[in-house]
């Protein structure tokens, strides 16, 4: 048989977090690998989605999302993120922020284009780039503060570099990029004429009085920034698959065409639910969300310290990186498998 996989397909491995979840289930362990939300979905959102189904609003929406959802996102992104967006032309509602990022990469990157990512990175960002045959290049974030050097960005930049990905708050580092850091990235991206793809899915998960700065709100960056976020985490609806990108109309139009091609639209009745949530929930909802996750962060970090795994205290998002060098094994995968083995025997 001469049939074979595409070269593209052979480059994509199963996402590590999915593989770890499967291993964890086999070992009967507690799954700390995959980001699962456990807060209650706000009642107004559940009821409106339900009403959407009952009222028969079950057909396709416009390819870039329901008008009321795009309008609600435009209000939110102006008030919270400081970005002005026209709901008619600049917003594409997609199948989660994952879908939004994939569509943006398809619309804006060619095979061979290089894209800078900060390391540690979120694995889906890398795999999405590989799927569109772009080439990831890595700039190190240095613990404990996850600082980076513009010199390193300069060193890995060349004439093929087309974009940089900024995930703030970041998975898995928990880094919240400061305004000063983002301004230096903005200057760098402008000087090298790069797109800035953001991933702001954890924009409300902020600790110790930190605030979220959206790269797209910085001077001169609006035109080249594709601001990506979604509602999976904020509203605890990871399975609903509702996210979005915001960008200038010239990019949004093409990103929207890709979204139409791949997803046609995001799930219709669920868009109604999210639109109501965005319009009705006030600041106190988002503040309480951050307080609740801060309590959980403190608890898990304390436990990690108690068992001898020094934790880097996350500034935002809901992941914790810990120093596992005291455990047996050559790398973190072997060390976590060792832990799972211990659990299976014990
Ligand atoms: C950094 C980051 N971006 C995106 C996602 C997925 O978001 P969505 O459900 O909106 O596709 C996750 C989920 O773990 C994530 O950690």
Specify the residue with its C-alpha closest to ligand 1, atom 13.
35
DSSP class per residue in 266-318: S-HHHHHHHHHHHHH--HHHHHHHHHHHHHHHHHHHHHHHHTT--EE--SBSS
Q: How do residues 138-147 score in pLDDT, each as one tens digit?
A: 999 999 999 9
For residue 206, the cross-strand partners are: 316
Q: How do residues 294-308 score in pLDDT, each as one tens digit?
A: 999 999 999 999 999
The CA radius of gyration of the chain, in Å to the nearest whole number, is 20
Higher pLDDT pick, 55 / 342: 55
DSSP class per residue in 173-218: T-----HHHHHHHHHHHHHTT-EEEEE-TTTT-B-TT-----GGGS
Q: Say how many Å lie between the CA of residue 22 and the centre of ligand 1.
A: 19
Q: Which of 12-16, 40-44, 151-155, 256-260 has the lowest mean pLDDT?
A: 12-16
161 and 138 Cβ atoms separated by less than 8 Å: no
Q: What's the pTM? A: 0.94
Q: How do residues 111-123 score in pLDDT, each as one tens digit?
A: 999 999 999 999 9
Place of tokens 């001469």: 2
Q: Say how many Å lie between the CA of residue 232 and the centre of ligand 1.
A: 7
165 and 118 Cβ atoms separated by less than 8 Å: yes
Question: With a 6 A CB cut-off, is 273 part of the ligand 1 pocket?
Answer: no
- Looking at residue 124, what is its pLDDT? 94
Tokens of 165: 């990905």
- Identify the burial level of 281 via C-beta atoms within 10 angstroms of its C-beta, where 0-12 means exposed, 13-18 middle and 19 or more buried: middle
Q: How do residues 138-179 score in pLDDT, each as one tens digit?
A: 999 999 999 999 999 999 999 999 999 999 999 999 999 999
Question: With a 6 A CB cut-off, is 232 part of the ligand 1 pocket?
Answer: yes
- Looking at residue 338, what is its pLDDT? 66
Question: With a 6 A CB cut-off, is 214 part of the ligand 1 pocket?
Answer: no
- Kindly indicate the confidence band of residue 129, based on its pLDDT and cuts at 50, 70 and 90: very high
Question: With a 6 A CB cut-off, is 123 part of the ligand 1 pocket?
Answer: no
Question: With a 6 A CB cut-off, is 203 part of the ligand 1 pocket?
Answer: no
Q: What percent of the chain has pLDDT over 90?
A: 79
Higher pLDDT pick, 103 / 25: 103
Closest listed residue to residue 322, CA positions, set 144, 178, 197: 144
Q: What is the number of helices (H) and of strands (E) in the chain? A: 12, 9
- Looking at residue 345, what is its pLDDT? 39
Question: With a 6 A CB cut-off, is 199 part of the ligand 1 pocket?
Answer: yes
- Kindly indicate the confidence band of residue 33, based on its pLDDT and cuts at 50, 70 and 90: confident
162 and 120 Cβ atoms separated by less than 8 Å: no
Q: How do residues 75-105 score in pLDDT, each as one tens digit?
A: 999 999 999 999 999 999 999 999 999 999 9
Mean local confidence (pLDDT), 62-66 = 97
- Looking at residue 1, what is its pLDDT? 83
3-state secondary structure of 214: coil
Look at residue 10 and tell me whether its pLDDT is greater than 70.
Answer: yes
Mean local confidence (pLDDT), 168-191 = 97
- Looking at residue 122, what is its pLDDT? 95
Kind plus residue range of the DSSP H or E element containing 140: strand 135-140
Q: How do residues 251-273 score in pLDDT, each as one tens digit?
A: 999 999 999 999 999 999 999 99
Total Cβ atoms within 10 A of residue 290: 15
Q: Say how many Å lie between the CA of residue 225 and the centre of ligand 1.
A: 18
Half-sphere exposure of 298 (CA within 13 A, CB side): 8
Atom index in ligand 1 nearest the CA of residue 231 equals 10
- Looking at residue 19, what is its pLDDT? 78
201 and 172 Cβ atoms separated by less than 8 Å: no
């Amino acid at each position: 048989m001469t049939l074979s996989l595409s070269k593209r397909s052979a480059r994509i491995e199963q996402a590590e977090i999915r593989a770890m979840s499967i291993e964890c289930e086999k070992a009967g362990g507690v799954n700390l690998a995959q980001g699962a939300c456990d807060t209650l979905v706000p009642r107004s959102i559940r009821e409106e989605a339900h009403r959407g189904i009952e009222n028969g609003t079950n057909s396709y929406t416009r390819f870039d999302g329901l008008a009321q959802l795009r309008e609600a996102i435009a209000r939110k992104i102006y008030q919270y993120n400081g970005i002005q967006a026209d709901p008619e032309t600049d917003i594409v509602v997609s199948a989660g922020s994952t879908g939004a990022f994939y569509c943006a990469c398809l619309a804006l990157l060619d095979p061979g284009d290089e894209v800078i990512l900060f390391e540690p990175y979120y694995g889906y960002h890398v795999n999405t780039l590989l799927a569109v045959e772009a080439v990831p290049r890595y700039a190190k974030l240095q613990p404990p503060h996850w600082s980076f050097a513009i010199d390193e960005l300069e060193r890995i930049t060349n004439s093929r570099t087309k974009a940089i990905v900024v995930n703030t708050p970041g998975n898995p580092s928990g880094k919240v990029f400061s305004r000063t850091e983002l301004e230096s990235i903005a200057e760098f991206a402008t000087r090298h004429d790069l797109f800035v793809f953001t991933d702001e899915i954890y924009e409300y998960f902020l600790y110790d009085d930190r605030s979220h700065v959206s790269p797209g709100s910085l001077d001169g960056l609006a035109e080249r920034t594709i601001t990506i976020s979604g509602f999976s985490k904020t509203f605890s609806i990871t399975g609903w698959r509702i996210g979005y990108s915001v960008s200038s109309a010239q990019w949004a139009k093409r990103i929207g065409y890709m979204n139409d091609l791949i997803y046609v639209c995001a799930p219709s009745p669920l868009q109604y639910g999210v639109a109501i949530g965005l319009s009705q929930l006030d600041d106190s909802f988002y503040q309480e969300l951050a307080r609740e996750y801060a309590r959980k962060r403190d608890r898990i970090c304390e436990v990690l310290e108690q068992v001898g795994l020094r934790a880097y205290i996350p500034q935002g998002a809901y992941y914790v990186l810990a120093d596992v060098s005291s455990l047996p094994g050559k790398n973190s995968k072997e060390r976590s498998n060792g832990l799972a083995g211990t659990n299976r025997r014990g």
